[in-house]
Structure 1
Amino acid sequence: MELLKIEEVAKRTGLTKRAIRYYEDFGLISAPERTQGGIRLYSEEDIEKINKIILAKEVLGFSLAELQQYLEFQTIIEQQKSEYRTTEDREARRSKLIEMSQVLQKEKMMIDLKLTRMAQFQEELIEFEQRVLKAIDQLHE
């Protein structure tokens, strides 16, 4: 497995080295392996996780705290999936599915809240634009 220095990770993700270190300090990504000299070394998995964070931040507009919660939900779901696959007991499998469903509902609620806020913001912009266009029309009269 090839490990990459932070400079290469920054190039591949579009983040600054400082942002990558901040994500680590904030707990969004795990502390990477280090050389004896203390140089951070990142795996492809680390890069994938960073790219997921970037996508959630850009597309969903999540704050860092919301990203942290979102990633915690993702971890819980992965654990539940793994436990679901490894158990044969029908009731235990049902329980895992219910737990996954509950976490997914929480994730959907986070996204719904963001969408509601975005819709409100868009409505304000539309109203302001209409007032500006009306003012322009009045100046032409």
Structure 2
Amino acid sequence: MEDVANLCGLTKRTVRYYEEIGLLAPERSEGGFRLYTESDVEKLKKIINARDALGFSLQELQEYVSIGEELSVLRDGIRIVEDIERKRSMIGDMEKTVEKQLKMMDQKIAKIVKIRSEFIELKDKIQEAKIRYEIE
């Protein structure tokens, strides 16, 4: 676990917590030790990116992970399904799922843009005050 935590820039406690709340589910050895795969590490890195870049809360991260798992199941299903109509239906489901993920991201981005515009407005007012009071 320590290696995984170090690879992802997290503490062991955070990795354990993410497992407790269902964001991560590593396999277990017969002795009960966590066995992290390359896929687990990649998933954890995606979670961290969503948390850091988009500011997702833990609840949003859980939804993000759930959507990612749904996409993975659909993608795997599309590969093995022979029936063209079923395949088309699954592709449609996958598109809806991706749209749900994009909507989550767009909502976060909109909040960030709103906050940024408020600071730009404040900066403009400061510039006006500097001119008014002849401050360099």
TM-score when normalising by structure 2? 0.89
1:63 matched to 2:63: no
- Select 2:12's aligned residue among 17, 25, 29: 17
* Rounded Cα–Cα distance in structure 2 between residues aligned with 1:70 and 1:84: 21
Q: Output the amino acid matched with 1:65.
A: Q
- Select 2:79's aligned residue among 74, 85, 96: 85
Q: Output the amino acid matched with 1:14.
A: G
* Rounded Cα–Cα distance in structure 2 between residues aligned with 1:15 and 1:104: 28
User: Corresponding residue for 1:27?
Assistant: 22
Preserved CA contact (<8 Å) 1:56 1:62:
yes
C-alpha change, 1:128 and 1:35, in structure 2 (3 Å) is farther
* Rounded Cα–Cα distance in structure 2 between residues aligned with 1:109 and 1:118: 14
Consecutive unaligned residues of structure 1, counting only runs of 5 or more, are 1-5
* Rounded Cα–Cα distance in structure 2 between residues aligned with 1:58 and 1:128: 25
1:98 matched to 2:92: yes
Q: Output the amino acid matched with 1:106.
A: K
C-alpha change, 1:40 and 1:53, in structure 2 (3 Å) is same
Q: Output the amino acid matched with 1:98.
A: G
User: Corresponding residue for 1:113?
Assistant: 107
Deviation at 1:136, TM superposition (A): 2.0
Q: Output the amino acid matched with 1:8.
A: D
* Rounded Cα–Cα distance in structure 2 between residues aligned with 1:119 and 1:98: 31
Q: Structure 1, residues 19-49: CA drift from partner, whole Å, max 9, x if none?
A: 111111111101442573x554422222111
* Rounded Cα–Cα distance in structure 2 between residues aligned with 1:60 and 1:133: 30
TM-score when normalising by structure 1? 0.86
* Rounded Cα–Cα distance in structure 1 between residues aligned with 2:113 and 2:2: 38
Q: Structure 1, residues 60-100: CA drift from partner, whole Å, max 9, x if none?
A: 22111111111111111111111111111111011101110
C-alpha change, 1:138 and 1:40, in structure 2 (3 Å) is same
* Rounded Cα–Cα distance in structure 2 between residues aligned with 1:123 and 1:82: 42
Q: Which piece of structure 1 moves more, 120-129 or 38-47?
A: 38-47
